[in-house]
Structure 1
Amino acid sequence: MKKRFEALDAFRGLCALSVVLYHMHIVGSITELKFFQGSGVFVEFFFILSGFVLAHGYGFKESLNFKSYCKARFFRIYPLHFFMLVVFVAFELMKLLATNFGVSFNGEPFSDKTAVSEIIPNLLLIQSWTPYTEHLSFNFPSWSISIEFYIYFLFFFTVVLFSKFKLLTWLTASLFAFTLIYFHSELLTKQVLSGLSCFFGGAIAYSVYRNISHIKIPYILGSIFEFALLVCIVFIAQAQFELKLIVAPLLFLITVLLFSFEAGVVSKILKIKPLQLTGQLSYSIYMTHAAILFLVATATLVFKKLTGIEIIKTINSLKYIDSGSAYINNLIVLIILATVIITSKFTYKYIELWGLNLNKKSKP
């Protein structure tokens, strides 16, 4: 049975929740902490962890079947992506209907990032791969899923076609993409370059782990390293400097590698049930939160329509919720987080697991 990296699972869940808070804009709440304002960088962590996990599951198999591999990856991510795309198309139809009743939104229905022309790219998950499509269209977090989906196929071919040289292939792909990012190359979209560099970097991190996993890290030393990495992550997330998108992934690579040993007290804490639950729900949390935030924004418009009270204000071109009370604003944050988690439990059970079971049933 393959080892499950429980500490990394919880890490992924916490990063997903941090991304949710990053996308919230609520005055006087924890969302204004510099750490959460910089938590968008954790998408790079997802890419790295995906590369690590895929290398663990498939990278060193003696025989890898293309059909079964593709089906497994497809049914793992596409059902929820498709469901959320349908939800966002439904939102646009709702906006279209609402305009007939005098309710106006910030943007016209099916325009700009939700234009009808963006539906097909989203269905094909190519929205992040070309400069001619809007990578943040409809369910905007799916931009990273667009990249991962096709990297899965690239990864398969590196394992099968370059079996004896796959480590060199992964290293070359990662370093080449990092180099292009550093020189601001437009050879590929910056989103794709980020995905390639981090994903294949994660695969290399797993190969390193595979070769040194026999090493026993003393508990005290492991705890010191884990705490030190957490401090570095907090610092990097809230820092602003030119090479952040280079330094942060390197830090995440070290983090994934060290926490794969689960050697310290932080790893022990990450294994508690509530944090393991966030890891289990991480994909759903990531994919559903934009819809919840859309509904919250819609609720503020309805509230204004009914009461005449404006609780939305524009700060630095961003829309912020402000009830006038810091306590209420933080309560709103907690309610939104709870709603995202409850919704994610539903989508995990009825969509993610359904997709996984569908893949199992379709096997010969």
Structure 2
Amino acid sequence: MAKKSKLLALESLRGFAALAVAVHHFRYGSMLSENAFIRHGYLMVDFFFVLSGFVIALNYANRLSTPAEVASFQRRRFWRLYPLHLFTLLIFLGIECLKYVFEQRTGIVSNNPAFVVSDASAFLANLFLLQGVVLNELGFNIPSWSISVEFWTYLIFALTMGLLRLEMRWCLVLAGGAAIVLLALEGGRLETDPIFAIIRCVFSFFLGAWAASLHVRVPRKAATPMAAGALALVILAIWGLGGTRAEILLPPLFALTIVAVASLEADTSLRRFLEWPFFVWLGTVSYSVYLTHSIVGWVVTQVLRFGLKVPTHVAADGDTVLALGQGFATLVTLAATAAVLVASYLTYRFIEKPFLSGWPFGARAVASRNG
């Protein structure tokens, strides 16, 4: 019970990160999204990877010593990730069908024509959780690329730390090797091409796993100033280093932050703040926030374009975005964010949660969000 309580603060951080990714993708011209921190919100994906490595190592490092345990672990991770992924994939398949019918009836072709990028090969890759591994251009629910590479990184962890029984310091060796590859091929940037995505995940995930071995060594009295300072530094680093070759420094900072927050004493104001029930709930539904926000964003965009006839313009990066006034854009961003939270509550309640108890396929003892 103590361990579960201790990790509630990390659950809140997971929720903040998921919300930052969602707002990052809501390009409506709002002051909420048009700032350096949110523009670099894609780096929160690396925070997810580090946090997953930390939590997985904390819970499973000594429980993966046989092939049966590895198979059980990977099955649990599958049932944790796949049901909601499949649901959102089918939603996006429906969206492609709607686009196709619309194009045939009106002659108006969207910026991404139906079934061009999101084609049969992309669907199969998504179906088998390979989209972040084999695709050069992502289709359907684009944010799900990180789910696919994380799933296979789980297996790498289970095989190396479990069956091969490597000591935890080898996590740092694997992370270092991945960092060298990223420096060589991507110049240290973390907004990598899809084909290198699994290397990006291995780097951050194994940093987090190694950080789990440091958790017990942090003096509890030092944890509060460490955590407060690290959280402030994370915000400043994302703001200033995002989009540069120094991005590769962010995952080590994330690891330090996670260790410090996980080590907070129960009676500290920072821990009480992070364990505020709404923040913890946000972390609980964070996976739904991450996988459903693109659906909500697509719906909001269609309502604005075709329902309210809002004009569009081409942004500097070539994307077509809505031409909204600052005030209206902020209202739209807030409304879209609220809609994501409602959708996430529903998908967590009716899709994620049933599988946490193994329903209906008997995958019992499926790991909880912190497992």
Q: Under a length normalisation based on structure 2, what TM-score does the superposition of the two structures give? A: 0.88
User: Matches of residues 53-64 of structure 1 in structure 2 within 5 Å?
Assistant: 53-61=55-63
- Cα deviation, residue 286, structure 1: 0.3
Instruction: Tell me the distance in 1 between the aligned counterparts of 2:293 and 2:30.
Output: 21
**Aligned AA (2:341):** I
Greater shift after overlay, 83-92 or 254-263?
A: 254-263
- Cα deviation, residue 105, structure 1: 2.3
**Aligned AA (2:161):** V
Cα shift readout 1:240-272 (whole Å, capped 9, x = no counterpart): 464332111111011111111124433221100
Matching residue within 25, 28, 31 for 1:29 = 31
Q: Is the 8 A contact 2:211 2:255 kept in 1?
A: yes
Aligned match of 1:98: 102
- Cα deviation, residue 363, structure 1: 4.2
Secondary structure of 1:108's counterpart equals coil
Aligned match of 1:173: 174
Aligned match of 2:15: 13
Secondary structure of 1:111's counterpart equals coil
- Cα deviation, residue 110, structure 1: 0.4
In structure 2, list runs of 5 or more residues that go unmatched: 187-191, 366-371
Instruction: Tell me the distance in 1 between the aligned counterparts of 2:215 and 2:90.
Output: 40
- Cα deviation, residue 14, structure 1: 0.2
Cα shift readout 1:156-204 (whole Å, capped 9, x = no counterpart): 11232232x3313312111110111112279x93211110011011000
Aligned match of 1:43: 45
Q: 1:199 to 1:322 in 2, by over 3 A?
A: same
- Cα deviation, residue 352, structure 1: 0.7
Q: Is the 8 A contact 1:25 1:319 kept in 2?
A: no
C-alpha RMSD over aligned residues: 2.2
- Note if 1:118 corresponds to 2:112: no
Instruction: Tell me the distance in 2 between the aligned counterparts of 1:161 and 1:27.
Output: 50
User: Matches of residues 223-238 of structure 1 in structure 2 within 5 Å?
Assistant: 223-238=224-239
Aligned match of 1:196: 202
**Aligned AA (2:195):** T
Instruction: Tell me the distance in 2 between the aligned counterparts of 1:183 and 1:134.
Output: 19
Instruction: Tell me the distance in 1 between the aligned counterparts of 2:289 and 2:175.
Output: 28
**Aligned AA (2:204):** C
Aligned match of 1:140: 142
What is the number of equivalent residue pairs in this alignment?
349
Secondary structure of 1:233's counterpart equals helix
Q: 1:28 to 1:121 in 2, by over 3 A?
A: closer
Cα shift readout 1:300-320 (whole Å, capped 9, x = no counterpart): 23225xxxx433222212333
Instruction: Tell me the distance in 1 between the aligned counterparts of 2:28 and 2:350.
Output: 31
Instruction: Tell me the distance in 2 between the aligned counterparts of 1:41 and 1:286.
Output: 13
Aligned match of 1:109: 114
Greater shift after overlay, 69-78 or 56-65?
A: 56-65
Greater shift after overlay, 102-111 or 83-92?
A: 102-111
**Aligned AA (1:52):** F
Q: Is the 8 A contact 2:234 2:253 kept in 1?
A: yes
Q: Is the 8 A contact 1:48 1:200 kept in 2?
A: yes
- Cα deviation, residue 278, structure 1: 0.7
Q: Is the 8 A contact 1:158 1:166 kept in 2?
A: no
Secondary structure of 2:320's counterpart equals strand
Instruction: Tell me the distance in 1 between the aligned counterparts of 2:355 and 2:71.
Output: 16
Q: Is the 8 A contact 1:28 1:330 kept in 2?
A: yes
Aligned match of 2:323: 322
Greater shift after overlay, 341-350 or 92-101?
A: 92-101
**Aligned AA (1:159):** M
Secondary structure of 1:30's counterpart equals coil
Greater shift after overlay, 19-28 or 193-202?
A: 19-28
Q: 1:135 to 1:171 in 2, by over 3 A?
A: farther
Aligned match of 1:184: 185
Identity, % of aligned positions? 27
Secondary structure of 1:73's counterpart equals helix
Q: Is the 8 A contact 2:357 2:364 kept in 1?
A: no
- Note if 1:208 corresponds to 2:214: yes
Instruction: Tell me the distance in 2 between the aligned counterparts of 1:34 and 1:363.
Output: 43
Aligned match of 2:72: 68
Instruction: Tell me the distance in 2 between the aligned counterparts of 1:252 and 1:143.
Output: 21
**Aligned AA (1:311):** P
Q: Is the 8 A contact 2:313 2:323 kept in 1?
A: yes
Aligned match of 1:247: 249
Q: Is the 8 A contact 2:179 2:203 kept in 1?
A: yes
Instruction: Tell me the distance in 1 between the aligned counterparts of 2:84 and 2:2.
Output: 25
Aligned match of 1:127: 131
Cα shift readout 1:197-223 (whole Å, capped 9, x = no counterpart): 11011000001114x26x322xxx544
Instruction: Tell me the distance in 1 between the aligned counterparts of 2:349 and 2:137.
Output: 28
Aligned match of 2:349: 349
**Aligned AA (1:14):** F
Cα shift readout 1:89-119 (whole Å, capped 9, x = no counterpart): 010001111123315422211012x122211
Cα shift readout 1:274-309 (whole Å, capped 9, x = no counterpart): 1011100110000110111111222223225xxxx4
Q: 1:90 to 1:134 in 2, by over 3 A?
A: farther
